[in-house]
Amino acid sequence: MRLNWFYIRGLLSSTLCGVLLAASSPSRADGDVSDQAKEAQNPIANLISVPLQNNTNLNVGPERGTLNVLNVQPIIPVSLGQDWSVITRTIVPVISESPLSPEGSRINGIGDTLFSAFLSPRTSRGWIWGLGPAIQVPTHSNTVLGNNNWGLGPTFVVLHLEAGSPWVYGVLVNNVWSIKGSRFARAYDNGLMLPFVNYNLGHGTYLVSAPIITVNWTTAGSQQWTVPLGEGSARLCTGARCR
């Protein structure tokens, strides 16, 4: 299995979580904002949040243009009693893609939505895990930005979050296979690995590295893998204002 070294060198992913809008209970809102920021960095936290992650990819496509993807990722937990929760995580990509030919123009719109539901123990410290199904929904606004087939596969996340430590780190993995819905759409078999390492600076601000590593198992040779490199910063906002 070979990596696509061209993209490792030439693809810069500017991972900017930017503004994180968190809606929490009154008791949680009265707590320390640094602890809230760490909990909001947990992709399967028992907390309603809307992370925004912007990825800018350079030297993409035949024209070596720029691909920008803003992922809007609402996270909504559902309690299953005192010990377990189901956390739903929806990723809606807003895409701006460079022209595919010298005569073409940029393509802007919505890509396909990825919905995940994680079954997870109700714990907010130490090693935290969750697993469940991932469903790809063909919501693209342009045929270039998605696939007309639905997709289904497993997803898993594990992370470490400890009280008193500024570090939050872990990895989220999924693989989605296409389910035939359109005989005109190509089949796909796509994997994703999202390692994340966050360092909290206090007062709701933190540094983040979260490259979205993807693999297309139906592509031959060195074109299978895309491995971006990047880092950024983020800040927690509660309600209508940032702390």
pLDDT of residue 155: 98
The distance in angstroms from the start CA to the end CA of the chain is: 46
Give the amino acid at 79: S
The answer to whether 22 and 237 are in contact (CB under 8 A) is: yes
Confidence band of 16 (pLDDT split at 50, 70, 90): very low
Report residue 107 as tokens: 């393509």
Mean pLDDT score, 6-22: 38
pLDDT of residue 242: 55
Confidence band of 241 (pLDDT split at 50, 70, 90): low
pLDDT tens-digit series, residues 37-63: 787 788 888 888 888 888 787 777 677
Residue 81 pLDDT > 80: yes
pLDDT of residue 14: 38
Beta strand 113-121 with 126-137 is antiparallel
> 91: number of CA atoms within 13 Å, CB side?
19
The answer to whether 45 and 129 are in contact (CB under 8 A) is: no
Distance CA(36)–CA(169), nearest Å, equals 16
pLDDT tens-digit series, residues 199-239: 998 878 888 888 889 999 998 777 788 887 767 777 776 65
Report residue 177 as tokens: 């296979």
The answer to whether 203 and 33 are in contact (CB under 8 A) is: yes
pTM of the model: 0.80
